């Protein structure tokens, strides 16, 4: 499996890091986990195009995990790609209709692109046929315990505490050929995630707060620090640990040194802070 970091940032506007997005290539499938702002640009920088994506899987529907959703679907459609298979918690179906339905926010754009005669000629000149259908992502709303199989891989999921009851929030594991990748999504520590990450070859775990950084008593249990993540990953027998979802203030040299020291003492040497466009073999 090949993992490409397309967005290692947070909701904060930040040139160094796009919001959440992680590309996993397994067999013939190209799976995108989350699609926050800036992810489509980084997908292009990584040498791939929107219509290469076979599956889009959302952990949850905070904006920093889905702000580029419409951009991805529209661009893949414009490339003539097959309808994207989309999996995510409710209300991803309503959100999709809100973009691409007959009364969606993009309806006037889509009507113009498919019905305006000069636009039809442009489409035909690019090899398209008429009538030109609208984008039609194949959306499946999922719940904790959702499983999926693809070209030699199996995906599993669990619920993680983050923004309930407003948003259902999930973590995913994906296993292929005896290798296991786990993505925490945005997650407070919990037994279900500990079980899901058991024996992972690579754990990609969000980090929203550094050790010693004060947090509101309601936020602290939802935002594990590098030390806490390292201890949980070590207990679960994880082989390699990557922290992601870094915020602007966490990107100073001193903050990185402190986070890495916590990872190395609590987990071991094979731990790092993810950066956009890095590639890892799982």
Rounded Cα distance between 133 and 95, Å, is 19
C-beta of 128: minimal distance to Zn ion in Å? 37
| Interface with Zn ion, residue 68, by CB under 5 A | no
C-beta of 158: minimal distance to Zn ion in Å? 17
Q: With respect to Zn ion, which residue has the nearer C-beta, 35 or 230?
A: 35
Site track 90-129 with Zn ion (rule: CB under 5 A), x = hit = ----------------------------------------
Site track 148-187 with Zn ion (rule: CB under 5 A), x = hit = --------------------------------------x-
Q: 168, 175 in Cβ contact below 8 A? A: no
Q: With respect to Zn ion, which residue has the nearer C-beta, 246 or 267?
A: 246
C-beta of 63: minimal distance to Zn ion in Å? 9
Cα–Cα distances in angstroms (integers) from residue 70 to residues 106, 262, 276, in the given order: 9, 38, 21
Instruction: Tell me which stretch binds Zn ion (CB under 5 A): 42-50, 63-71, 89-97, 196-204.
Output: 63-71
Q: With respect to Zn ion, which residue has the nearer C-beta, 117 or 218?
A: 218
C-beta of 237: minimal distance to Zn ion in Å? 26
C-beta of 265: minimal distance to Zn ion in Å? 27
Q: With respect to Zn ion, which residue has the nearer C-beta, 97 or 247?
A: 247
Crossing angle (nearest 10°) for helices 226-235 and 253-266: 30
String of b and e for 92-110 (b: at least 16 CB within 10 Å)? beebbeebbeeebebeeeb
Q: With respect to Zn ion, which residue has the nearer C-beta, 64 or 228?
A: 64
Handedness of CA 38, 89, 134, 79 (dihedral sign): positive
Rounded Cα distance between 130 and 145, Å, is 41
C-beta of 34: minimal distance to Zn ion in Å? 8
Query: Of residues 34, 64, 175, 228, which one binds Zn ion by CB under 5 A?
Result: 64
From its phi and psi, is residue 178 left (phi > 0), alpha (psi between -120 and 50) or beta? left
Q: Which residues of the chain form contacts with Zn ion (CB under 5 A)? A: 64, 186
């Amino acid at each position: 499996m090949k993992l490409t970091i397309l967005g290692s940032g947070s909701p904060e506007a930040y040139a160094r890091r796009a919001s959440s997005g992680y590309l996993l290539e397994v067999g013939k499938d190209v799976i995108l986990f989350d699609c926050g702002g800036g992810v489509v640009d980084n997908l292009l920088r990584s040498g791939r195009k929107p219509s290469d994506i076979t599956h889009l899987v959302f952990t949850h529907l905070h904006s920093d995990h889905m702000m580029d959703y419409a951009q991805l679907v529209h661009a893949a459609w414009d490339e003539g790609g097959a309808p994207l298979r989309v999996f995510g918690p409710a209300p991803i179906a309503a959100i999709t209709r809100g973009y691409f339905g007959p009364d969606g926010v993009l309806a006037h754009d889509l009507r113009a692109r498919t019905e305006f005669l000069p636009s039809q000629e442009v489409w035909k000149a690019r090899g398209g046929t008429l009538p030109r259908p609208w984008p039609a992502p194949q959306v499946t709303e999922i719940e904790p315990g959702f499983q999926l199989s693809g070209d030699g891989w199996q995906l599993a999921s669990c619920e993680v505490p983050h923004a309930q009851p407003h948003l259902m929030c999930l973590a995913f594991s994906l296993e292929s050929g005896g290798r296991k990748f786990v993505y925490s999504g945005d997650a407070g520590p919990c037994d279900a995630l500990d079980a899901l990450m058991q024996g992972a070859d690579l754990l990609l775990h969000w980090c929203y707060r550094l050790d010693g950084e004060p947090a509101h008593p309601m936020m602290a249990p939802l935002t594990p620090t590098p030390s806490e993540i390292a201890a949980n990953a070590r207990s679960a027998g994880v082989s390699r640990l990557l922290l992601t979802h870094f915020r602007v203030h966490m990107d100073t040299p001193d903050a990185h040194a402190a986070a890495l020291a916590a990872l190395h003492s609590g987990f071991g040497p094979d731990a790092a802070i993810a950066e956009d466009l890095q590639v890892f073999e799982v």
